[in-house]
Amino acid sequence: MIKAIIFDLDHTLFDRYATLAEVAKMLRKSSLPVNPELNDKEIAEIMIHADKTKVYYGWDCLREYIVNETNLFTEKIEGTDYSDFVFDSFNYVAVPFDFTLPTLKELKKQGYKLGLITNGIPGLQQNKLKLLGIDSIFDRILVSGEYNCPKPQLRGFELMAEWLNLDPSEMLYVGDNPVNDVDASRRAGYIPVYVNTAGYWPRPDIEQCKYQVETVAEIPTLVKNINNK
């Protein structure tokens, strides 16, 4: 019996691609050497494609693609300049999915405990939650940077189960990352649900999970079906 639903944040509860389209407008005004021949739409397309195809292999892979295989910048940038800019921009803009808050409210109304496990810097992730208007709806929130347990480490999943006083088998974990969300939660004993934000399974080296949805709007029905079996 599922008693709690635990969520990832990025790509799961907020529209990261729509957010990146807004960040693209901010990139032009930054100190980075953005190609002046590109318009905002073209910049956004490059950023979104890179995120969709490379981020699941890590930010180093994404940066290498941006720097070496696109014309986004007129000269090479070093280190974490690009990711630092994107992360900082997320302090100011986060575009929600229309269905996120109604879905969370519906699950809460049905009596399920709600949790969030997300990688990242505590202040940044907490600020995203405030921008999205969902910071107060969860029973527990775990930001990996606060507890030094980044996914795919299992400690964050174990802590959440302890905090909610549930067995992991009673908990659904919903996320978009095959490694950090699906495989890690499965190894922790949760029932994983893959959110197909990218439109495909981006890590063929990782076993897919039984339950897959296009958006979290499908979660209330999915939980009901699982519990009725």
Strand pairing category for 191-195 and 211-213: parallel
User: Which of 89, 104, 122 is at the close of a domain?
Assistant: 89
User: CA nearest 23: which of 58, 48, 60?
Assistant: 48
pLDDT by residue (tens digit) across 120-147? 889 889 999 999 999 999 999 999 999 9
For 34, the 3-state DSSP assignment is strand
Per-residue pLDDT tens digits for 34-82: 999 999 999 999 999 999 999 999 999 999 999 999 999 999 888 889 9
Q: Please identify, among 89, 107, 130, the residue that sits at the C-terminal boundary of a domain.
A: 89
Domain with 35, as residue range(s), is 16-89
Contact by Cβ (8 Å): 113, 3 = yes
Same domain, 101 and 185: yes
Q: Residue 143 burial by CB count (10 A; 0-12/13-18/19+): exposed, middle or buried? A: buried
CATH of the domain at 162: 3.40.50.1000
Residues 165 and 182 occupy one common structural domain: yes
| Count of domains observed in the chain | 2
**Residue for token pair 């802590």:** 159
Residue tagged 């940077």 (tokens): 145
The SS3 assignment for 130 reads: helix
pLDDT digits (tens, 9 = 90+) for 137-183: 999 999 999 999 999 999 999 999 999 999 999 999 999 999 999 99
Helix (H) / strand (E) element for 157: namely helix 155-164
